[in-house]
C-alpha cells in the first residue's frame, strides 16, 4: 500500500543441482494440489531445464480475488495478500542425502514500489527419493500358556520406488515376556551395501537392518515366552520401522503402515489350599477343613512349589498363607509329566495331623497327587500333582494339630469352698507339678509354680493323654491336701476323663488323670488346692486355789482326760473331728487342723473332779477357737477342782454353861484337842482306794484336801486314840457335817457322800 496495486506478478527462477533437471509443471489451485489452474496464471507451463541449468525465468500473475483483496487478476488491494501455487517436478534420482533446488521469486507491479528491499525472496528445497516402508507382525500362537515357547515374526518391506538407505526397527516387548534365544533376521534383496544387527536392552529389541532396496523384505524372528501373567490376560507386542528421512534417505509414502501389532492371549494354571488346625477328626472330618470357627486357620506358613513344567523349565516358587490360612500359586505353567510337588514348611507349635487329607470326594485335591505327612514334625507334601494348562487345582490342604499347653494353679483354699478364688485364696509358689503320659505313666516334664502359684506345660504332644500329679508342697509349712480341680479344655469344662484323684498314688499326692488335648487346644485352670493346717494344744490341771487361772502353785496335771475337737454350735450337737486323751503331764494336742475355721475344744469332765474353768471361764468345759490362725494356738487350759472334807476334835465342856455340855456343837470357848489322828477311808468315784490319816492341829482342826468325789459307798472318817499327851477325855457326841453321813459307830462318820469339787466341813 497505500495504493491499489495492478499488474502484480512474480518472476520465478529455479536452479537444479549439477547434473539434475527440473520441470515446471503448472500453477495449481492449492498447495499440494496436482490440478492446474485454467486459465494459467504463469507465462509458461511444462517447461524443462537442462542438466544443472537454471530454468528460464517466467512470470506469474496473482489470481483474481474479492473486493477486499483485489477483484481482478494481477490486482492486489492495499494491505492484502494473495498466493500463487507452483508445481515443480525433479526429473532425476536424488543423491542419498537429497538434492537442493534454489528458487527465487521477485515481485513487481505497475505502480512504483516505495520499499523494494523485500521484493525478492529465495527458498532452497531439498528433494529426496520416495520409499514405501511397511511393517507387519504375527505370532506363531494366538494363545499360549505361561513359559510356553512361541515366536513373534516381524516383516519389514520396502515397496519403493526408492531404496531405504538405513532401515531401523524397534520392537517393544510387553511386560512379562522373556526372549528364549537370539533375535535373528533374514533379508531378501539384491546385494546392497550395509549389514544388519539386532540388539536387546531390557524389553526393547533394536534391529539395524541396513539398506533395503525397493523390492527388499527383512524378516525378524523373536523367540519368546511369557514368564509372568500379563495384566488382562494378554500381551501386545509393538514393532515400528523408522521413517526418518535422515536415516532412510527417502520420504516414506503413503505412511500409516510402519507399525505392526501382535497380541497373544496367555493362560495360567493355579494351585491352592489351606493350612488349618485339624481339631475335629471324627468320621470323615479328619484331614478336611471344617468351619474356621471350629478349626482355626494357620497364618504365616511357608509353602514351596517345585518341579519341571511342560516345557522343561525348573519351577521353584514360594508363598505364605494369609490371615485365613489360605495360600495360592496363581500363575503357573502346566506341569511336566512328573507333576509338581507342594511342600509345607512345618509351622512351629504344631504337629502333622494323624489323619491325611482325603483322596476322593469333594474335599480331595482336584488334580490328585500323593500326600506324605513327614512324621509328626517333618515337612508335609503333595507330590505328583500333574497340572494341565489353564487349570485351577484346589484342596491342597495341610492339616495340623496344635501343640497345646496345660496349665493351672496351686493355692491355699482359704475360704474352703473347694475352688480357687483369685482374690481370696493364697498362691503357693515353688510347688512341684509333674506331667505324666496317662497311658504309660512315664514322666514327661516337671514344673514349679511361680510367685502367682501358676504352672504351665507348653508345646505338648496332642496325640497323648496326660496325667497331672502334685505332691503336697513343703512350704509354707503345715499344708494338707485340699480340693483337686479338673479345669477347662478350650475354655469349656472338661467332661471326658479329667478324673480328680486325691491322695493318689500315695497319701499326700493328688492327681488329675486322663486329660485329653487331642484337639490341639489348651487345658487351663487345672488347679490343686491345699489347706493350711495348724495345731491346737493345752493341758488339764487342778486349780488348787480355785482362782480360775493356772498358777505356779497349781502343780497337779490330770492324765487320761478326754478332749474333743468339735465343729458346730455346741459340744453336744457339733461334729467331733478329733479326740485325744491327756498325757501323764495333762497335756493334749490336736494336729492337722484346718486353719481359719471356728472350732470348739470340748473336755469330758474327768470323773470325781469338779468343773473348774475353761481358759478362765468358771464352770465351763468348752473353749471356742475362732478363725484358727495358721500358726495354731497353744495354752488352752481346763482347770479342775478337787473335793475336801474338814472337821474338829474338841472338848465339848460347855465352858461353864451346863446346857452346852456334850451338846455336839463346838461352842465359843471350847478348846480343840491337838495331835488326834483322823483317818479317811473308802473308794473314790474313780474307783481308787482312799486311806489317809492326818493329825489335828493346835486348834483340833483336821482337813483332807485333794479328794475326788466319793464312790458309791461314800467315805468313812474315823477318829483315832487321843494321845495321852493331849489329855484324858471321855467320848462325846459326834456331829455329821454338811456332806452328810452316819454315826452308827462311835468315833466314826460313815457313808459320807462327798461330791465332786465340794468343800465339806463339820
Residue (of 309, 302, 287) closest to 343 by Cα position: 302
Place of cell 479329667: 498
CA gap 78, 73 in Å, rounded = 15
Q: What is the model's pLDDT at position 163?
A: 84
Given its phi and psi angles, is residue 246 left (phi above 0), alpha (psi -120 to 50 degrees) or beta?
Answer: alpha
For the chain, the straight-line distance linking the first and the last C-alpha, in angstroms and rounded, comes to 180
- Which residues partner with 14 through β-bridges? 103
Q: What is the model's pLDDT at position 89?
A: 94
Looking at residue 655, what DSSP letter applies?
Answer: G
Residue (of 650, 648, 711) closest to 682 by Cα position: 711
Residue (of 356, 359, 317, 360) closest to 340 by Cα position: 317
CA gap 609, 640 in Å, rounded = 6
Given its phi and psi angles, is residue 414 left (phi above 0), alpha (psi -120 to 50 degrees) or beta?
Answer: alpha
CA gap 718, 693 in Å, rounded = 9
- Which is it for the CA torsion 437, 440, 441, 443, positive or negative? negative
Per the CB < 8 A criterion, the answer to whether 207 and 198 are in contact is yes
How buried is residue 23: exposed, middle or buried, by Cβ count under 10 Å (0-12/13-18/19+)?
Answer: middle
Per the CB < 8 A criterion, the answer to whether 321 and 272 are in contact is no
Q: CA triplet 596, 601, 604: central angle to 5 degrees?
A: 165
CA gap 512, 517 in Å, rounded = 14
Q: What is the model's pLDDT at position 190?
A: 59
Q: What is the model's pLDDT at position 191?
A: 52
DSSP notation for 224-290: EEESSPPGGGEEEEEEEE---HHHHSEEE-S-S-SEEEEEEEEE-EEEEEEEEE----SGGGTTS--
Q: What is the model's pLDDT at position 93?
A: 84
Longest dimension (CA), the chain: 211
Which residue ranges of the chain lie beneath pLDDT 70?
A: 1, 189-195
Q: What is the model's pLDDT at position 394?
A: 98
Coil, helix or strand for 6?
coil
Residue 248 phi/psi, 5-degree rounding, is -80, -20
Q: How far is CA 62 from the centre of its chain?
A: 94
Place of cell 507334601: 381
Residue (of 607, 608, 601) closest to 633 by Cα position: 601
Domains in the chain with CATH codes: 9-127 (no CATH), 131-267 (2.60.40.1530), 269-398 (2.60.40.10), 406-525 (2.60.40), 532-641 (2.60.40.10), 643-761 (2.60.40)
Helix or strand holding residue 509 (H, E): strand 509-516
Residue 291 phi/psi, 5-degree rounding, is -55, 145
Per the CB < 8 A criterion, the answer to whether 158 and 213 are in contact is yes
Residue 726 phi/psi, 5-degree rounding, is -90, -10
Place of cell 488323670: 513
Q: Return the C-alpha cell found at 505.
A: 498314688
SS3 content of the chain, % helix, strand, coil (to 5): 0, 45, 50
DSSP notation for 467-488: EEEEEPP-SSSSEEEEEEE--E
Given its phi and psi angles, is residue 505 left (phi above 0), alpha (psi -120 to 50 degrees) or beta?
Answer: alpha
- Beta-carbon count within 10 A of 604 CB: 13
Q: How far is CA 325 from CA 286, 299, 302, 397, 723, in A?
A: 17, 5, 11, 10, 118
How buried is residue 493: exposed, middle or buried, by Cβ count under 10 Å (0-12/13-18/19+)?
Answer: exposed
Residue 629 phi/psi, 5-degree rounding, is -70, 150
Helix or strand holding residue 451 (H, E): none
Per the CB < 8 A criterion, the answer to whether 345 and 304 are in contact is yes
CA gap 745, 729 in Å, rounded = 18
- Beta-carbon count within 10 A of 492 CB: 8
Half-sphere exposure of 354 (CA within 13 A, CB side): 11
Q: How far is CA 61 from CA 12, 54, 74, 276, in A?
A: 11, 21, 5, 95
Whether omega for the bond prior to residue 161 falls within 30 degrees of 0, making it cis, is: yes
Coil, helix or strand for 35?
coil
Per the CB < 8 A criterion, the answer to whether 382 and 342 are in contact is yes
Amino acid at each position: 500500500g497505500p495504493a491499489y496495486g495492478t499488474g502484480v506478478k512474480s518472476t520465478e527462477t529455479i536452479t537444479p543441482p549439477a547434473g539434475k533437471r527440473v520441470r515446471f509443471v503448472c500453477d495449481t489451485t492449492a498447495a499440494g494440489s496436482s490440478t492446474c489452474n485454467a486459465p494459467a496464471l504463469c507465462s509458461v507451463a511444462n517447461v524443462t531445464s537442462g542438466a544443472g541449468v537454471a530454468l528460464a525465468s517466467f512470470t506469474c500473475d496473482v489470481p483474481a480475488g474479492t473486493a477486499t483483496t483485489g477483484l481482478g487478476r494481477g490486482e492486489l488491494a492495499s494491505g492484502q495478500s494473495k498466493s500463487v501455487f507452483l508445481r515443480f517436478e525433479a526429473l532425476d534420482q536424488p543423491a542419498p542425502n537429497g538434492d537442493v533446488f534454489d528458487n527465487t521469486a521477485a515481485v513487481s507491479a505497475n505502480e512504483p514500489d516505495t520499499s523494494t528491499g523485500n521484493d525478492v525472496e529465495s527458498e532452497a528445497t531439498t528433494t529426496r527419493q520416495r520409499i514405501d516402508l511397511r511393517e507387519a507382525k504375527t505370532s506363531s500362537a494366538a494363545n499360549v500358556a505361561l513359559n510356553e515357547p512361541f515366536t513373534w515374526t516381524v516383516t519389514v518391506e520396502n515397496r519403493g520406488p526408492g531404496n531405504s538407505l538405513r532401515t531401523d526397527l524397534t520392537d517393544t516387548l510387553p511386560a512379562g515376556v522373556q526372549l528364549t534365544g537370539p533375535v535373528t533376521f533374514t533379508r531378501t534383496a539384491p546385494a546392497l551395501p550395509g549389514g544388519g544387527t539386532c540388539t536387546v536392552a531390557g524389553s526393547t529389541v533394536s534391529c539395524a537392518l541396513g539398506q533395503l532396496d525397493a523390492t527388499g523384505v527383512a524378516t525378524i524372528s523373536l523367540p519368546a515366552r511369557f514368564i509372568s501373567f500379563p495384566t488382562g490376560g494378554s500381551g501386545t507386542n509393538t514393532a515400528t520401522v523408522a521413517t526418518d528421512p535422515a536415516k532412510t534417505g527417502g520420504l516414506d509414502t503413503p505412511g500409516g503402515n510402519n507399525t505392526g501389532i501382535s497380541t497373544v492371549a496367555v493362560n495360567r494354571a493355579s494351585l491352592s489350599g489351606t493350612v488349618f488346625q485339624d481339631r475335629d477328626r471324627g468320621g470323615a472330618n479328619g484331614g478336611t477343613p471344617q468351619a474356621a470357627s471350629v478349626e482355626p486357620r494357620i497364618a504365616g506358613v511357608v509353602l514351596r512349589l517345585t518341579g519341571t513344567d511342560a516345557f522343561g523349565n525348573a519351577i521353584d516358587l514360594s508363598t505364605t498363607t494369609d490371615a485365613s490360612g489360605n495360600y495360592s500359586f496363581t500363575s503357573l505353567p502346566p506341569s511336566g509329566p512328573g507333576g509338581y510337588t507342594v511342600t509345607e514348611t512345618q509351622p512351629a507349635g504344631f504337629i502333622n495331623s494323624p489323619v491325611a487329607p482325603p483322596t476322593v470326594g469333594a474335599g480331595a485335591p482336584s488334580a490328585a497327587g500323593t500326600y506324605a505327612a513327614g512324621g509328626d514334625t517333618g515337612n508335609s507334601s503333595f507330590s505328583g500333582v500333574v497340572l494341565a494348562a489353564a487349570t485351577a487345582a484346589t484342596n491342597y490342604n495341610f492339616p495340623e494339630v496344635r501343640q497345646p499347653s496345660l496349665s493351672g494353679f496351686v493355692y491355699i483354699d482359704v475360704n474352703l469352698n473347694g475352688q480357687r478364688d483369685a482374690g481370696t485364696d493364697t498362691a503357693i509358689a515353688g510347688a512341684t507339678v509333674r506331667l505324666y503320659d496317662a497311658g504309660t505313666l512315664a514322666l514327661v516334664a516337671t514344673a514349679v509354680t511361680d510367685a502367682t502359684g501358676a504352672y504351665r506345660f507348653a508345646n505338648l504332644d496332642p496325640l497323648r493323654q496326660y496325667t497331672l500329679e502334685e505332691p503336697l508342697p513343703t512350704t509354707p509349712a503345715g499344708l494338707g491336701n485340699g480340693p483337686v480341680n479338673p479345669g477347662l479344655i478350650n475354655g469349656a469344662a472338661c467332661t471326658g476323663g479329667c478324673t480328680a484323684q486325691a491322695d493318689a498314688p500315695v497319701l499326700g499326692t493328688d492327681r488329675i488323670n486322663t486329660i485329653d488335648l487331642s484337639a490341639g487346644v489348651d487345658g487351663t485352670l487345672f488347679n490343686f488346692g491345699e489347706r493350711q493346717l495348724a495345731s491346737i494344744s493345752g493341758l488339764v490341771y487342778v486349780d488348787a486355789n480355785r482362782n480360775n487361772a493356772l498358777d505356779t502353785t497349781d502343780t497337779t496335771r490330770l492324765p487320761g482326760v478326754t478332749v474333743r475337737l468339735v465343729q458346730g454350735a455346741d459340744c453336744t450337737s457339733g461334729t467331733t473331728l478329733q479326740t485325744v486323751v491327756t498325757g501323764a503331764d495333762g497335756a493334749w494336742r490336736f494336729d492337722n487342723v484346718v486353719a481359719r475355721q471356728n472350732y470348739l475344744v470340748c473336755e469330758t469332765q474327768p470323773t470325781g473332779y469338779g468343773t473348774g474353768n475353761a481358759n478362765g471361764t468358771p464352770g465351763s468345759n468348752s473353749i471356742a477357737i475362732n478363725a484358727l490362725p495358721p500358726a495354731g494356738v497353744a495354752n488352752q487350759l481346763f482347770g479342775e477342782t478337787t473335793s475336801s472334807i474338814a472337821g474338829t476334835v474338841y472338848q465339848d465342856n460347855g465352858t461353864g454353861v451346863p446346857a452346852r455340855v456334850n451338846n455336839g456343837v463346838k461352842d465359843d470357848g471350847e478348846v480343840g484337842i491337838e495331835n488326834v489322828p483322823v483317818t479317811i477311808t473308802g473308794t473314790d468315784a474313780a474307783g481308787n482306794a482312799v486311806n489317809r490319816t492326818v493329825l489335828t492341829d493346835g486348834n483340833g482342826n483336821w482337813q483332807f484336801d485333794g479328794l475326788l468325789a466319793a464312790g458309791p459307798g461314800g467315805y468313812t472318817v474315823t477318829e483315832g486314840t487321843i494321845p495321852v499327851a493331849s489329855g484324858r477325855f471321855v467320848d462325846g457326841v459326834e456331829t455329821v457335817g454338811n456332806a452328810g453321813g452316819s454315826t452308827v459307830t462311835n468315833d466314826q462318820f460313815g457313808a459320807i457322800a462327798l461330791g465332786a469339787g465340794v468343800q465339806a466341813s463339820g
